[in-house]
Amino acid sequence: MNVTPETYKKYTTARAPKSPILKNCLRAFLVGGLICTLGQGLNTLYTGLCGMPKEDAGTLTACTLVLLAAVLTGLGVFDRIAKFAGAGTLVPITGFANAVVSPAIDSKSEGLILGVGAKIFTVAGPVLLYGTLAGTVYGVIYWIAGLL
């Protein structure tokens, strides 16, 4: 049997389950919004009740959200939330925490050095690398433009 790529694509498209796009978008919007609302609530708590400066409260808010996402990932709760919400959990800073913690948990049986240490940034590593590289290139361009 000789199947062309076009025939195979038509075959798989016809038999693939249809994705409920509107429902998925709504879930992502609601959960992502709840995460951001939680972040805003923490920020208000830190600035209002704790009397922190705005910049310090922002830093502590980000750290709290990362810690919360890391703990929920370790407990297996974050994956269930992500299964329900889809991209709603990936966009805020919590998605980054999950991307760092998940490979570490998956590879802990290989040991702390060759497992966790070597594989903790397998997902988030390229983001960090190219984000840092892009920031550096932008900084050099900005610096050169300031000299002119």
Whether the model pTM is above 0.75: no
Q: What is the DSSP letter of 18?
A: P
What type of residue is 82?
A
- Amino acid letter for position 85: A
- pLDDT, one tens digit per residue, over 16-41 is 888 899 999 999 999 999 999 999 99
Contact between 78 and 96 under an 8 Å Cβ cutoff? The reply is no
Q: Cβ(81)–Cβ(72) under 8 Å?
A: yes
Closest by CA to 65, choosing from 103, 91, 84, is 91
